[in-house]
Structure 1
């Protein structure tokens, strides 16, 4: 491991929680916390995720908001019944036509919330741990220099036949961490660079661009490293994370978006470069190309937009 990454890992990695919710409430002071759940057709899981966080509302958490990305199922109804505030992506920054992708709704969440600190939690989690949010917020509230906290965890892999204890996070293992090791070795100590569970200060999050698609997490990590350096980044152990695993073809498109964002942040690819990925499928015994466009558009730092 890179020497700087090794030193950072030793000082900014929490393998176990050293704080209680009461400790965090006391340290919070006048600061406010918003928890954001991005959602797209997650009616089966979003209610349980909200239920795992709801007991914190009014003490540690000031806002619990689901940002819906155009669901066609009952995600909105389930989220409202579970006690979250629901914001449609078309309800905020209405003058801007929504772009497709997870990063788009995370970016819009900055304009839909008011917390000094924001925690992002994916809404497709299965059996979500109520400790996720307090664990993520710990370094932000207790370590003044920290501005971004990434969660890490063991990821079981669910297949059609069985569920195994590890093997999830295939894009992380096969592409994201090898890429960071080559391009930004100081970040090689990040266990889950693509983690959907993370928290940051509004000051930082409004100062950086957001990739509109799946490149949002690696883009935020690289930009945070540029702005606040390794001392401003921390990581915490969230234990086990279970969610719906995607098929390999979908992961290929995800990896292509992440790769484009990372290369752009590292100055190796012009920003907003149109892209595509050709995969191959079998039809009647023949292998045929299947080409899909890849969205790599960045949204500007929210701070620039809000001061216009």
Structure 2
């Protein structure tokens, strides 16, 4: 059997065995009992940047169902990226601890980016399992959390579970059916199929709803920006194998549209994150001499003009290597 055929069969089997549906975990009391039998604790970390329109509803929906009514979550924290609106104020009013990630681990220097928030959330949370969901979800439902948790609680082999969903875009008052996921389909999945075909069954590698076991997450490096999701999947795969990754259908996620320029910049840093991991695989430098700035093309009637923006995708080391983390989590 050829290598490509063997990989294709491997992916087909993984897809059949490691793909779940959120409805499998609707019995929340049973999930709580499964958690307690394993003596596990669970943390939810919410990365945020100027999400005052949705963050309150996200927190209230999750907290009321999964902490107050069913004790599935042991803590919820907000990891803010210096929001200029009322995001932090709203979270505090709802009794949620708030951290500004640029103020954590200052000795390592502040950075911008979602990946930075996720990396530092490992420092300030305590759960054996850590779940992240985005705070811009318009149609928030507890399944975005318990759907991700379910596979981790019932399958001890899993180290990371990714959510996937239909992604209609909310643009002003209109909803565009299945118009989301453009960077996934035009950048992430083609690159995965080229260089990491074993991961080609992952439906939405860039989805913002996912979770994993702390013992695994603390061993991997984190891209500081939008490359964090793709980098996390690749490193978990390379360290723990394909069977350590699962995915779950979370039905539908409605979110706000981003401009084409923003998506282009996102793709630029995602490509850097993938090539950084290819460097490690092949032991060759690919990015050292590669351009880290992007020429953006703008139009202001009647002319086009160019603007250059520096967009390096920086990385943080595995959190377990930091003495501050080891001290905070009593690791010798």
Q: Secondary structure at the match of 1:176?
A: helix
The number of aligned residues is: 308
- CA 1:25/1:272 → structure 2, altered by over 3 Å: closer, same or farther? farther
Please state how far the C-alpha of 1:307 moved relative to its aligned partner: 4.1
Q: Secondary structure at the match of 2:178?
A: strand
Larger radius of gyration: 2
- After superposition, the C-alpha distances for 1:245-284 in whole angstroms (9 at most, x for unaligned) are 1100011001101111011112273479761111211133
Please state how far the C-alpha of 1:294 moved relative to its aligned partner: 0.7
Which of the numbers 40, 61, 85 marks the counterpart of 2:73? 61
Please state how far the C-alpha of 1:160 moved relative to its aligned partner: 5.1
Which of the numbers 185, 191, 196 marks the counterpart of 1:179? 191
- Per the alignment, residue 59 of structure 2 pairs with 50
Distance 1:159 1:232 in 2: 37
Superposed CA RMSD: 1.8
Q: Which piece of structure 1 moves more, 77-86 or 32-41?
A: 77-86
Structure with the larger helix share: 2
- Per the alignment, residue 283 of structure 1 pairs with 300
TM-score by length of 1: 0.95
Distance 1:33 1:189 in 2: 27
Distance 1:121 1:273 in 2: 32
Please state how far the C-alpha of 1:289 moved relative to its aligned partner: 1.6
Contiguous gaps of at least 5 residues in structure 2: 1-6, 280-284, 328-332
Contact 1:147–1:233 (Cα < 8 Å) also in 2: yes
TM-score by length of 2: 0.89
Is 1:36 paired with 2:45? yes
Which of the numbers 201, 209, 214 marks the counterpart of 1:202? 214
Contact 1:155–1:242 (Cα < 8 Å) also in 2: yes
Contact 1:48–1:128 (Cα < 8 Å) also in 2: yes
Is 1:146 paired with 2:158? yes
- Per the alignment, residue 182 of structure 2 pairs with 170
Which of the numbers 108, 113, 116 marks the counterpart of 1:96? 108
- After superposition, the C-alpha distances for 1:186-228 in whole angstroms (9 at most, x for unaligned) are 1010000001000100011100000000000000000010011
Which of the numbers 246, 249, 256 marks the counterpart of 2:268? 256
